[in-house]
């Protein structure tokens, strides 16, 4: 149960970080910012062509996990802290 909740929190955080591409997010949390650069650098194929739409959370998480060795320290730590 705890792992499921942690995964859901991580998915929300990753999606929020990824959606920052199209929306202004004033003073986002450190967790929100942790994977933003990595998602844009490593997972461009997950972002929809329509910039007003958010990327699929599960696809984004899968992409980040696929590129785990290339993630920044901050992103890796955030995912680990949420059990991913």
Q: What is the pLDDT of residue 39?
A: 92
Q: What is the pLDDT of residue 83?
A: 85
Q: How many domains does the chain have?
A: 1
Residue 74 has pLDDT above 70, yes or no: yes
DSSP assignments along 19-50, one per residue: HTTTS--TT--HHHHHTHHHHHHH-GGGS-SS
- The overall pTM is greater than 0.85: no
Q: Count the alpha carbons within 13 Å of 39 in the hemisphere toward its beta carbon.
A: 29
CA angle 54, 78, 38 (to 5 degrees): 50
Q: pLDDT, tens digit, for every residue of 9-63?
A: 565 666 555 554 444 434 456 766 889 999 999 999 999 999 899 889 899 999 9
Q: What is the pLDDT of residue 54?
A: 87
Where in the sequence is the domain holding 6, given as residue range(s)?
Answer: 2-81
76 vs 70: CA distance, rounded Å: 9
């Amino acid at each position: 149960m705890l792992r499921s909740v942690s995964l859901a929190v991580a998915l929300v955080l990753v999606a929020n970080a990824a959606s920052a591409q199209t929306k202004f997010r004033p003073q986002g949390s450190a967790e929100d910012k942790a994977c933003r650069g990595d998602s844009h650098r490593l997972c461009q194929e997950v972002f929809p062509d329509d910039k007003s739409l958010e990327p699929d959370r599960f696809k984004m998480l899968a992409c980040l996990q696929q590129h785990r060795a290339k993630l920044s320290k901050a992103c890796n730590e955030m995912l680990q802290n949420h059990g991913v």
